[in-house]
Structure formats: C-alpha cells, structure tokens
A and B are shown apart, each in its own frame.
Chain A
C-alpha cells in the first residue's frame, strides 16, 4: 500500500493514477461555457494524445489546463487558460501550447525565431514624453531560473532555493541599484506600510486565474520584494514567476527607465550565471515564463497617461490596435480607468525585441498625446490616424 515516489510512474502524483482507468471522453473537461485560448484549442483528440504524458518534473496536461477549466472566461480579457509548470512543459505539450501561442501572439509559428535586444542604446528618443500628460513610466518583465520548476508546480524546497539565489544575487548590486530584500513572511509593520505606500507590496493573489494554477501554495513562504534605495528598481520573488523585474519612475523619461531596466537585468543575469544558474531562454520562445502570454520578452512597458478626450473618441480602440498598444486601468490588469488616466502599454510580448516594443510605446504614446492636444483644442485628429504597425 505504501509505494515510494518513483520518477518513472505515469503521473507524478496529484492528478491521480485512477484517471487512466477512464476513457478520454470521460476525463475530457466540459469546455462548453468556456472562452479562453486553451478552450479554443483543446479538442478531445488532443486531450487523448496528451493525457498520459508528463514532463520530467511530473507536470501533466491536466495541470496545464486546470486554471482554464476552473475559469471559463473573463469579462474584459481573453484569458490564456493554461500555464507551464517547468521549462519542458512547452515541449512536452507543444501540441496544445503551440496553437495557443500562435493565437495569442499574432500568428507566431512553431518555426519562428524570437529576437532578444536588451541594448537600451538602440531606443530612439523616449526621454521626453510630455510630463503634463504622462504621470509615470514603467517597464517590467519576468525571468525564470533554469533547473527549477515554475510557480504552479515548484516545491517549497525549490521555491526557497530560488529565493536564496535571488537574495544572494541582488545583494551584490551596487550604485544606483543598491538595495534591500524584504521577505513577505517576516516584514515588520513599518516595512509593510512603507511598501504599500510606495505601491511596491504584492499580496497573496486573489485572482482565481492565478490561484487555480496552484501558484499561491505555501504563501508567503519563499516570497519577497527587493528594491533599490532610490525606489526605481524593484524585483518580486516567487509571485507569478520566479522573478518579476520592474523599473519605474514618475514622469515621462521612458528612456531612463528602460536604460536602468536593461542594465539591472543584465547585471542580475550575470550574477545568477556566476552561481551556475541561467535564465530559461531559447531561440524560439525567448524567455520562458509561467504564462504563455508572457513568452518572448515578457516585457510590458507602459505609462500612466491622461487621455480624457482621446479615450472618448470612437476610434480609440482602433488607434490602439494599429499602434499595437493596449489600455488598462491604473490599478492594473483587472481594473478600469479612473479620471481619464490610462495605463497604456505594448500589447505584444513575443516576436518583437525589447527595444522594438519599448519603441512602439514611446512612439505610440507621443502620438496619443498629440491627438489629445488636438482634441483639447477642438480640432480633428483624422490626419493623425496611424497605419497598422
């Protein structure tokens, strides 16, 4: 009755061994009410093909899709509905993830190559977005540490190891990047309040999209926030990804933000390599992250910008689409805009380099501000309509 855990068994564990006693039809999820990328793609035949496979760490297709089964859809956004548990997920479950990636990332094909460019010098302009409109600028990305499972699947030991490596790496940053780590589980009241005031603190996720994937297990063990003394460079450890790296500051100097971003990231990568740990990356998918939507650059560069007039224009959605930008409320992905202030960021993650994406934001936001000014003056913006990028 007691059997030792054995890496060759068909299922690691949780998603139980009895399920292969049932036919694929009996196990195939009911996706009839669903509207997410996974549900659009996962046919019964595909499920039948994939259901007896697992990655080396024991992640199964049922693990991949659980979040999408549990969350049929979202009122504002087309959710992805699947996650990776480790680097190999994207290979073992290619049949499912390739079409999801293609649908999500504008037709990106299994044979396509992704370009990484973290040379901030290649950005043109971007240091003077009009501060009368642009309240703040921010660039974020994620990184996964090769050799460890991702947040939906990692064990406590793995998560703690990532935390230890991160603390070690980050503590050796200096100059503008010198900072401190605050572990979630032993933060003082004062530290917590300060981090809240700085809008740095992340809390246990409440989104069912995230929770259903298993990434909040053992909270707050192994989680923490690191930031530099200047509060312009911030790293989240073990939230939705191993690392989330954020560069930000008030005002419209996106160039400076991106510069710090690239410098900081490159230094961090160097520090991890010194300890024998690389970031998960390959030439097809770029940086490998938990959610397929963040593959490639994992980059979201955005501004909080006042666009009360443009946003009411009937062509606002179309303009954003042409500029390859997306809007959000200033409370983040699940929020609505307040007071005409929008979070405008790149819509793409994969198939464009970091420099290209930030350039799109810089150019696009400049155009939107120009349009805003025209509309303020009661003038037309027809001649400013952009071509599809």
Chain B
C-alpha cells in the first residue's frame, strides 16, 4: 500500500522527462490521457490542502491495469482536485462517463415519488434489491489525503447525524477498532462488515492509512439501511432488502440520505456537490449520482443467449458476479460467477466499476 509520499520538494529540480511516469505498460484511463505536456503543466500545482498531480495519479502508476476492467487510475484528494487538475480529470470523466463534456450539467433527483413502478419485480427471479451511493463531507480532504484529525471529525459528525435518525432508521454505530468478537461475527453473517482493503488499486491511493482508526459501520435495527464511514469515501450509504421491491429500497435510500444531509448542513458541513459533477467522490467513476442500483436476479437462460451483452448495453445495464463489493468474505466485485447482477448507473454496460 504505497501512498502519496509525493510531497517531495526536490522533484522540481528534475526535468519533466525525468519525473514523468513510465506508462508504457499501462492501460487505465489516466494513462490514456496523461501526456508529458499535461504532466509538465500540472506538476507544480497543488490544491489548497496540498494535493498534487503525483498524488492524483499514484494509484494509476502503481497499477498498470486490470485483467477484467478498465480502471480509472486516479483519485481526488479533496473537492478542489477536480478543479485544479481539470486538464487531467475532464478527459477522463468524458471517456469514462460516455462523452460527458466539461460544460454539461448533472441533474440530481432524489425524489423517490418520481420512480414509476418498481415495487413488484418478480420475486421468483429477483432475490434481493440494493441501492448504494457515496457522499463526501464538504470542508474535509478525501480518504486518499485526509489526516487522522479530519477522518475522526468526519466519523464524529457522521455518528451524530446517524444517531439522530429514528423510526425505521433507528440504529447503531460499530467502530471497527472497538468491535467485540460477537459484533464482528454478526456483521460478517449479515454481510455488512468491511475490512481493510486488499485491492492494490485502493491501497496505492493511500486510503487505508491509519486503519482502522475512525472507520466504522452503522446500520438500522431492521438491517435495511447501512452506512460505511471512512472506507473509500467519507460515507457509503446502502439501502437493501430481500426480494424485488426496489421502490421501497429506493424510498428508504432517498429519505435516509436526505435526513442525514440535514444534520450535516446544520453543522455547516453539507455534502460536496456542484451542478457540473453532481456529488463529488474520491473516484472519478463515482461522480454524479455515485449511485449503483442493482438486483441479484436469476437469469440462467437469458444469460446464455447470444445477444445478452447487447441487450445489457442497450438497456445501459451492467452485470457482475454476486460475490461483488468489499464486504468481508464477499470477495472483489469481478464478473466471475454465473448468477447475474443487473445494475443501472449511467455507465456503459459491460464496464463494471473498478472500485465497486
């Protein structure tokens, strides 16, 4: 897990050619886009918190490629990264998000009433429904770059916000570092527990520093609303339940998210959002909605059909194995398993997200 020790004052004593990374074996979005000229232009810049282009790209330099997926190869260290390093991020965002232009505007709609139907996906086929997203808290650096003090502050605010929830949202926070064995076993059995990342994609970005300090899991008593604190993003918010009532899952998702946001706003720390990029998250692949809405669904016949991939592409869906995500014993989200997971999140189908 090498991480950004790229704040080296001597590097500007070396020429661009000497510092420019060797990307000849690389196949990720960053490597496709970062020319020597671009690197020359960006290498002496930093965001207000001190994030540099070398920090942005370190994970992409250290991880040339992935056998199944086109990885992004760069991360943001704070909200301003996307502005200071526009030259690099804009083409990556365009390439990754189907031609999204620097002038485009992103629409946020968390009004669940606007969803039509969705309450009766056939439970003979749909085993479970889930919606997840991420949120970043304004005013703090992001997981690749935040200090311990910042991470703890995010945890503290998050716990306060979550503890104020009631009704179906009433729940409890389990900090990773103070979990009992019994709690840990239960969280594993529920498939809620996340562990220190092992993926070199994540580790190289520096987001596992100081593990497990200020990391934790919050979930409601019903186990249908779950929040990860300080994993790859400040918050990952997940609504889920067995069966095919996606409408109910999405309603809980929207209501819960809005309630949490209110509490953060009261503390003058709303979510990072702007009208171009929508919700700002650590990985450029999660910008906009950061939303992955999906089901575990039985499609043994359709999936063997010659046109399955084409159908998914046309529907703007992607498939993954059901061992996806980063819950403990859940394995990495690679499309290895025969059961299919359809997901709609605005990305071109057949391109599963590298960082789940």
Among listed B39-47, B102-110, B242-250, B335-343, interface-contacting one: B39-47
B49 touching A18 by the CB < 8 A rule?
Answer: yes
CA of A56 to CA of B9, assembled, Å: 7
Q: Is the CB of B210 within 8 A of A153?
A: no
Task: Indicate if the CB atoms of B7 and A29 lie closer than 8 Å.
Answer: no
Contact B141 A153 (CB under 8 A): no
Contact of A4 among B45, B48, B77, B153 (CB under 8 A): B45
A5 contacts B210, C-beta separation under 8 Å: no
A155 contacts B8, C-beta separation under 8 Å: yes
B239: interface (CB < 8 Å):
no
The interface residues of chain B lying within 8 Å CB-to-CB of A12 are 7-9, 50
Which residues of B are found within 8 Å of A192, using beta-carbon distances? none
Say whether A30 contacts B177, CB under 8 Å: yes
Segment of B128-136, B143-151, B293-301 in the binding face: B143-151
B6 proximity list for chain A (CB < 8 A): 13-14, 155, 217
Q: Are B152 and A26 in contact (CB under 8 A)?
A: yes
CB distance from A240 to the nearest CB of B (A): 13
Complex interface: stretch among A156-164, A247-255, A346-354: A156-164
Distance, CA A11 to CA B141, complexed state (A): 15
Q: Is B213 an interface residue (CB 8 A)?
A: yes
Q: Which residues of B contact A149 (CB under 8 A)?
A: 8, 10
Q: In the assembled complex, how far is the CB of residue A81 from the closest CB belonging to chain B, in whole angstroms?
A: 13
Q: Does A3 contact B (CB under 8 A)?
A: yes
Q: Does A152 contact B (CB under 8 A)?
A: yes
The reply to whether A217 and B49 form a contact with Cβ atoms under 8 Å apart is no
Q: What residue of chain B has the Cβ atom nearest to residue A8's Cβ?
A: B9
- Number of inter-chain CB pairs below 8 Å: 181
Cα distance A149–B9 when bound, in Å? 10
| A70 at interface by CB-CB < 8 Å | yes
The smallest beta-carbon distance between B110 and chain A, in angstroms, is 29
Contact A156 B21 (CB under 8 A): yes
Q: Known contacts being A157-B14, A185-B22, is A29 close to B210, with CB within 8 Å?
A: yes
- The contact of B50 among A14, A63, A215, A221, by CB within 8 Å, is A14
Interface-located stretch among A129-137, A206-214, A225-233, A322-330: A206-214
Q: Hey, what's the 0/1 contact readout for A222-242 against B, CB within 8 Å counting as 1?
A: 000000000000000000000
**Bound Cα distance A148, B8 (Å):** 11
State whether the Cβ of B71 lies closer than 8 Å to any Cβ in chain A: no
Q: Which residues of B contact A219 (CB under 8 A)?
A: 2, 62
Instruction: Assess the A221–B22 pair: CB atoms within 8 A.
Output: yes
* A216 contacts partner chain B, Cβ-Cβ < 8 Å: yes
B223 touches A (CB below 8 Å): no
Residues in A whose Cβ lies below 8 Å from that of B3: 14, 66, 212, 214
Q: Are A14 and B55 in contact (CB under 8 A)?
A: yes
Q: Which residue of B lies closest to A214 (CB)?
A: B5
Could you tell me if B84 and A11 are in contact, using CB atoms closer than 8 angstroms? no
Partner of B147, one of A13, A27, A156, A211: A27
Please give me the residue from chain B that is nearest to A28 by CB atom: B148
Interface 1/0 per residue, A15-34 and B, CB below 8 Å: 11111011100111110010
A366-384 interface (Cβ within 8 A of B): none
Task: Answer yes or no: A58 CB below 8 A from chain B CBs.
Answer: yes
Cβ of B51 within 8 Å of any chain A Cβ, yes or no, is yes
Instruction: Give bound CA distance, A9 to B46, whole Å.
Output: 12
Whether A63 pairs with B147 at a CB distance below 8 angstroms is no
Q: Is B1 an interface residue (CB 8 A)?
A: yes
Of all A-B residue pairs in the complex, the 5 with the closest CB atoms, nearest first, are: A13-B7, A157-B14, A22-B149, A12-B7, A155-B11
List 28 interface pairs A-B (beta carbons < 8 Å), by A numbering.
A1-B48, A1-B83, A4-B45, A7-B9, A12-B7, A14-B5, A17-B48, A18-B149, A22-B149, A22-B153, A26-B148, A26-B152, A27-B149, A30-B213, A33-B177, A57-B10, A58-B9, A155-B10, A157-B13, A157-B14, A158-B8, A161-B14, A185-B22, A214-B4, A216-B62, A218-B61, A218-B62, A219-B2
